[in-house]
Structure 1
Amino acid sequence: MATLRIGFIGAGNMAQAFAKGLIAAGVAKPQGIVVSSPKVDQHLLDQMAAIGCGTTYNNREAASFSDVVVMAVKPAVIPRVLHDLQPCVTPARPLVTSVALGVTLATMEANLPPESRVMRIMPNTPALVQLGASVFCRGAHATDEDVQTTRRVYLAIEALADGGVRMGLPRPLSLKLAAQTVMGAAKMVLETGKHPGQLKDEVCSPGGCTIQGVAALERGGLRAAFISAVHDATVKSIETSGK
């Protein structure tokens, strides 16, 4: 698995987070990763090249190189890009995965040759520091080996867990994902040196689900509640100590 060849279609924040995480974890070597993106995204390709990855403007070139292809482009263009990759995809290789919101397994399979092996994954950017949390599901032709590959490639607190249960996740899985998400986010702040607001902005696509969740937290007064909790606990501590 250390020699796994991975192709990223798209070079944005999620692709960069995963590429760096995979290299740090020893799952893939920099020369074992090829990233494709249009010329307009040359600055993103340059960032990938800076960590040793191969780059190309040709999606088919990236797919032909790879054992695993990661679709990391906007959901609206996934069908077109998958259709373009058809000449490079067979039941034997590569395994085609998607991290795009709302792109179903049925959509992936409909735009690839018959019996293509596909997986759908919903990850988060703490994969950069090897503390990502991902949920994935397999397509009709994905194998048990594909599942194990996905577990290795995508290293998969009560209120968050309740939200996951509400949306259909088993409670043990929901709790694990919630805890891993919080731990990963904290490590992202510590290890990247970026302001939490910047990290938040990097994953909030216009009109996307993440900014929708942020808006819900703001409506619920989460920020004010945390500030008040620190204030009240400090006041109580001072009162108790008699200072």
Structure 2
Amino acid sequence: MKGTIGFIGCGNMAKAMLGGIIAENLTDRDALMASARSEQTVRLAAEQFGIRTTVDNREVATFADILILAVKPIYMEEVIREIRDDVDEDKVVVTLAPGKTLAWLKETFGKDVKLVRTMPNTPAAVGAGMTALCPSENVGEADLKTVTEIFSSFGEAEIVTENMIDVVTGVSGSSPAYVFMFIEALADAAVHDGMPRKQAYKFAAQTVLGSAKMVLETGKHPGELKDMVCSPGGTTIEAVRVLEKEGLRSAVMEAVKACIDKARGL
């Protein structure tokens, strides 16, 4: 892949992305640069990834052909105002922050910048992320392909329309937290009946991993896969009955809806 990639912000998501880019050999390490406010953060990033680092955001903005703003929504306006004079029409600016629309980003930059909104998730840290990409109209096919390659280096990436970005936040961006809660609950139940906790986490987590893989690889409807486990009068259908009685589906749907509404209000 040609061109340079810069990160403003070097938190967990940026590190996950850097790890994927380097593991997949998308570009040379000297074509990567990251900035952070803390000298310690950039020092640790330099040691971990062997890349250029700085505490000067404008230095990264000048350096990068693909500029990734890996900062929280509350800092986005401050960062854009700091770097916008260093961003020209040839650069592609990628954002990770929920709630910041393409229109808002363009207005804040004060010019017609090539933009790609994204919504990745934390499984990127283990090469199993899921990312939605939403480009502005002036992003060309070659630039979009490059950005897609970056995000595909640590998982799966798909193009979505902008009105779906907040939905993506609910269904994949934030949902690892819901899944972790489910795994913890499964393990707690096993511990309650005598299983050592470390072993309980392994049984629960591997089962969730395998179940997700079955959905992706078989192409079968999740309900069909559920029915395959539920023998007549058996243990599984008894557990499913209790989950339905206690409102598992409704609770999950309401949680995702609340997340989407919150994202739309940012």
TM-score (norm 1): 0.64
Structure 2 unaligned blocks of 5 or more: 157-163, 194-202, 204-234, 236-266
Give aligned-pair identity as a percent: 29
Q: 1-side partners of 2:189 and 2:126: how far apart?
A: 30
2:102 paired residue number: 105
1:85 paired residue number: 83
Q: Is 1:49 matched up with 2:20?
A: no
Q: 1:82 to 1:168 in 2, by over 3 A?
A: closer
* Range 25-34 or range 124-133, more displaced: 124-133
CA offset digits 1:191-216 (Å, max 9, x no partner)? xxxxxxxxxxxxxxxxxx84x97479
Q: Is 1:224 matched up with 2:185?
A: yes
Q: Is 1:11 matched up with 2:10?
A: yes
Instruction: Report deviation, 1:132.
Output: 2.0
Q: 1:222 to 1:33 in 2, by over 3 A?
A: closer
Show the 5 A alignment for 1:184-203.
Answer: none
Corresponding letter in the other structure for 1:29: D
Q: Secondary structure at the match of 1:8?
A: strand
CA offset digits 1:44-68 (Å, max 9, x no partner)? 2112101211111111110111110
Instruction: Report deviation, 1:225.
Output: 4.2
Instruction: Report deviation, 1:22.
Output: 0.4
Q: Secondary structure at the match of 1:137?
A: strand
Q: 2-side partners of 1:22 and 1:47: how far apart?
A: 18
CA RMSD of aligned residues (A): 3.2
Is the radius of gyration larger for structure 1 or structure 2? 2
Show the 5 A alignment for 1:59-208.
Answer: 59-92=57-90, 94-155=91-152, 156=156
CA offset digits 1:51-105 (Å, max 9, x no partner)? 211111111110111110110111111012112211111111x100001122221
Q: Secondary structure at the match of 1:4?
A: coil
Query: Is contact 2:42–2:55 with CA below 8 Å preserved after alignment?
Result: no
Q: Secondary structure at the match of 1:76?
A: helix
TM-score (norm 2): 0.59
Corresponding letter in the other structure for 2:57: N
Q: Secondary structure at the match of 2:129?
A: coil
Instruction: Report deviation, 1:168.
Output: 5.5
Structure 1 unaligned blocks of 5 or more: 157-164, 179-208, 237-243
CA offset digits 1:212-231 (Å, max 9, x no partner)? 9747975xx66434655897
CA offset digits 1:143-202 (Å, max 9, x no partner)? 22222112101112xxxxxxxx9x867xxxx9xx97xxxxxxxxxxxxxxxxxxxxxxxx
For these two proteins, the number of residue pairs brought into alignment is 182
Q: Which runs of 4+ in 1 moved over 4 A?
A: 215-218, 225-231
